[in-house]
Structure formats: structure tokens, C-alpha cells
Copies of this chain bind each other. A is one copy, B any other.
């Protein structure tokens, strides 16, 4: 563990222009859900993901037309692109030739050692990394049959495959061991982190829709990152992929690992609250999502924690009956009416100079 950062030191791996591991920032990934052969739709989705903050994008390559489209997609985007491959090693080779910045293969279904050798040879020639991406839903029959926990099966499957790669002299490797069970996933990554220094790609697979998947991902990814484990994250949601970026950013920000947007501290309201705080907090949060200024804004409903939180924040509002006191850098600066809350807070964020 690096005592300054609290993070497990890992090998540095280059994915196009993005570096993971080696103490570099934890990168945010997502994956397209368009048809890859539909170049226009895929490029449009990747651009939307990039705009939202996606730093590495993965694209499924299930067939030849998808592999053929890969080159055209790559030519039109400027974030690293990863080809997601299952069943057919030849498609991995085709994607590498088409310019993939990384290949993800699944040891549970990619075939035998000769198939893996084919992919490793092509990746080595192109000098790109391979992610060994193990999933609980696609463990090989042999691994599945072992008398072990899901976590052990996941970690062992990854470790056995690392062995095959290293025998070929290939160590440009990223690893993942995902399960739809949060705690099995956490245990699998802990086992893996204790045994290898390759960077780890974290995620809870098949975690569900936006609402439940966000909670499962926050807990699983959050637990691991808080222990210093993990170098890149992908929140998997049954939802438009752009939501995955928002949740990933929120997880990193809540842990204090990276900051992206203003932070809003707002109280749950109770019988003490004399203003209609919920819509104001919601409106403020929505608005500030579009801001990149790293300010902390507190919106508090009463005098209990209000002045304290408002004073601790960069900008604060401690509301009373139909009015509120505005704080700036810890000092009460003025009293305003409830109808002015939103406009005043936005104005103060706009004018605030981060030191």
C-alpha cells in the first residue's frame, strides 16, 4: 500500500492516451449499447459518453461487420476504445488490426490455449494491453464445477489465465473478476489484489437498473476503492450508458478520490424546517451538475446544523421561517427571502473564486 495515497501500487498500463495503474487517476469507463456495425449510432453514443466524462469506452465486437466498423468508429472519436470479445479469438485479432487500444477477452469462453496465444501474439505486435475479464455468469464448465466459493473461482480463473499470458512473455495485462453478487465480487478482487500487481478494472456485473444498480455499484466499487484496490471503474447499469458515467463520478467524489462537480450538502428536512427545501435542493443539484467549479454548497433547513454546515461549506444557506442567511467562506453575509434562494445561490457559485 502506498502510505501517501492509501492505494495499492500496481503496474502502469497504457490504454491509448489514458494510463491506468502506477498511481494514475482512477479512470472512468463505460460501454456502448448500440449496434457496433452502425458506425453513426455508435460514434454518437461515444461522443455523448465522452462529453459526460467517459475516459475509456468499450464496444462489443460480436461478429465480422462489427470488427469491420471498428476502424471507422475509431477514426471519428478521441478517447481510447476497447474491443469486447467473446467466443472468437479471430475477432480479437481483427479488432486489433482495426486499431483497438485494448482488448477484453473472457477466459470462460475464448477457447483453448491456442486461441489465447493468437490474441496475445496480435496484442503484443500492436503493443496494446489485454484485459482478462472474468464473469461469474460465464466461468468455464471446469471452473464452475470446482468446490470453491464464487469469489475463489473468479480469482483463480483470472490467475490461471495470467499464467498462460506470462508464459508467452506478455504482461500488458488488466484484470477484472465481476459477479452480480456484491460481496462475492469484493472478495474476488481482494483475493486477486493480494496475489498480483496488474491493475484492476472494477465493476459489479449485471447490477440492475439505474436505481438498484447504482446502490450495488456504489457499495461494491466503494468498498474496494476505500481499501486502495482498483485502477479503473465501470458502473454496469441496465440503462442508457451515459448514466454509468454520472454514477461513477459520484462514487469517486463521495470517496474523496476525484472531484468533478460542485458538492451539495442538504438536510433531510424535518418538523423544524420552515421553508420548502426539497425542490430548492433538487433544482440546485440539477443545475450544478453542469458546473465544473469545485465548490461545496450547503442548503440547510434550520438552525440545528444549518449555521455549522453553511459555515463549513464554501457557500451556504441556513434557512429560517421564509428566509435564510447566506454564508460565504464561513461568514454570514446577508439575509434573503425564500423566493431568492435559488437565484442567489447560483449567482454566488458563478462568482465564487476557487483558491
Contacts and interface: CB of A to CB of B under 8 A. Distances in A.
Given A137-B308, A265-B206, A254 B182 contact: yes
Interface string A309-326: 100100000000000000
A8 interface: no
A268 B238 contact: yes
Contacts of A264: 208-209, 212
B300 A206 contact: yes
A228 interface: no
Nearest to A316: B137
Interface string A217-246: 011101100100000000011111100100
Interface in A299-355: 299-300, 302, 304-309, 312
Interface stretch (A15-23, A28-36, A113-121, A166-174): A28-36
Interface stretch (A92-100, A194-202, A276-284): A276-284
A241 B268 contact: yes
A86 interface: yes
A251 interface: yes
A285 interface: yes
Contact of A218 (B186, B219, B299): B219
A32 B271 contact: yes
Contact of A268 (B31, B255, B312): B31
Contacts of A238: 266-269, 277-278, 281-282, 299
A226 B226 CA distance: 12
A266 B206 contact: yes
Central interface residue in A84, A139, A208, by most chain B CB within 10 Å: A208
A216 interface: yes
Nearest to A318: B137
Interface in A24-73: 31-37, 42, 59-62, 66
Contact of A84 (B59, B60, B181, B270): B270
Interface in A141-167: 144
Contact of A215 (B206, B250, B268): B250
Nearest to A302: B62
Nearest to A41: B271
B312 A208 contact: no
B59 A271 contact: yes
B33 A254 contact: no
Contacts of A62: 271-272, 302
Contacts of A309: 136-137, 180, 206
A272 B281 CA distance: 40
Contacts of A42: 271
A211 interface: yes
A138 interface: yes
A277 B219 CA distance: 24
Contacts of A294: none
9 contacts: A34-B271, A60-B271, A84-B270, A137-B304, A137-B312, A206-B309, A215-B247, A219-B219, A244-B268
Given A182-B256, A205-B305, A216-B250, 20 more contacts: A33-B268, A33-B270, A135-B304, A135-B308, A136-B308, A136-B309, A136-B312, A137-B306, A137-B312, A206-B268, A208-B285, A209-B264, A209-B266, A211-B285, A212-B250, A216-B254, A236-B267, A238-B277, A239-B268, A240-B278
